[in-house]
Amino acid sequence: MFWTSYFLAVLALVLAWPVPVLLSRAAWPARAPFTAMVLWQAIALAGGLSMIGAMLVYGLEPIGDNLIAGLRALAGMVFRNEPTTALGFWHLFALSAAALLSAHLVFTLLLTYVKIERQRHRHRELLALLASPSSERAGTVVINHDSPVAYCLPGGARSVTVLSDGLMARLEPDELRAVLIHENAHLSQRHDLLLWAFAAWRQALPWFPTTRYAQLAVNSLIEMLADDVALRSESKSTLIRAIALVAGGQAPSATASGPADTNGPGDGSLSATGGADSPRTTASRVSRLLSPEPPLKPAYRAMVLTASALLLAVPTALLIVPGLLG
């Protein structure tokens, strides 16, 4: 039981710092974005699990041979006022920390969801009044704005893709199709769930390198995944032209609106440090399209997926199996 808590603590540390740093520098995720996405999710989940598990196991060590027996003894102390003399100060401290961290993670997840939903709701309300539904495409609205803008607002059945007049004027029909397929891929692959989970993860533990790297990586990986969907029906050069036209049309408008928003002094510095949106995302997307590397070999992908499964299975097994055997 004792070595379990040390092992979990080491795992939590490794997953909080060196692993995400190495993974965020690796080049292979661009060659297998889906696999990389699975690995990031496994790192986040296993990281949280081992953090909480390590503290729980350490705190319960004096009162139970395994997690389940320990939790049962703890329940007796909490609900039936059994003596707590077996638990020292550090044990109680670890147990409280485990409970607080679990509550904090769940609470942040819910709070982030409410905040995101509220903003989306407000956005949809304004769109309903300002944008006109596209006559040709369902779930698409057009807004009267000169710079080329395309985005999607997820929301289940109320999901909507928004295009600006400026975009429609600048893009040829095939380029427009590529943009729409790209945005639609975000909606159909439910990327909003990933964005929500990783935004909450970062919000909950902002000082952990892992949460920042994970969010940056996930933001960039979903764009690659959506690009790959667009490439199935549109040519590479079409997609590149679309990206170039939209990026090129946005740059001057961003600087033009710069002096106007004096209330946002952090705006410039945020985009310089990347905010949550990696400043390299667009460039890495384009270089990935211009000089594509072969997809990662199936053997390597299988290895990464196995590692992801082990990351989740090992801490779970360490926590639960001794209790089931004993």
Partner 1 sequence: MASLGELERAVMDLLWASQEAATANTLRDLLAQDSEAEGGSAGHQGKDLAVTTVLTVLSRLEKKGLVERERGTRPHRYQAVSSREDHTAELMHEVLGSAPDREAVLARFIGSVSESEAATLRKLLGGH
Site residues for partner 1 per CB under 8 A: 112, 115-116, 119-120, 123, 125-130, 143-145, 147, 149-154, 162, 164, 179, 182-183, 186, 191-192, 195-196, 199, 215, 219, 222-223, 240, 242-244, 246-248, 250-251, 253-254, 257, 261, 264, 267, 270-272, 275-283, 286-287, 290
Look up residue 233 and give its two tokens. 């029906």
Nearest to residue 235, comparing CAs of 178, 168, 170? 178
By beta-carbon proximity to partner 1, the closer residue of 97 and 116 is 116
Q: Measured from the CB of residue 301, what is the shortest distance to partner 1 in angstroms?
A: 25
DSSP-based three-state secondary structure for 185: helix
By beta-carbon proximity to partner 1, the closer residue of 61 and 223 is 223
Q: Measured from the CB of residue 34, what is the shortest distance to partner 1 in angstroms?
A: 17
Q: Measured from the CB of residue 23, what is the shortest distance to partner 1 in angstroms?
A: 20
DSSP assignment of 222-289: HHHHHHHHHHHHS-HHHHHHHHHHHHHHHHHHHHHSTTT-TT-THHHHHHHHTTTS-TTHHHHHHHHH
Estimate the crossing angle of helix 173-188 against helix 191-204, to 10 degrees.
Answer: 60
CA distance 66 to 324: 9
By beta-carbon proximity to partner 1, the closer residue of 91 and 285 is 285
Q: Measured from the CB of residue 218, what is the shortest distance to partner 1 in angstroms?
A: 9
By beta-carbon proximity to partner 1, the closer residue of 147 and 210 is 147
By beta-carbon proximity to partner 1, the closer residue of 49 and 167 is 167
The residues, any chain, with a CB within 8 Å of residue 190's CB and separated by 6 or more, are: 154
Look up residue 9 and give its two tokens. 């603590």
Q: Measured from the CB of residue 125, what is the shortest distance to partner 1 in angstroms?
A: 6
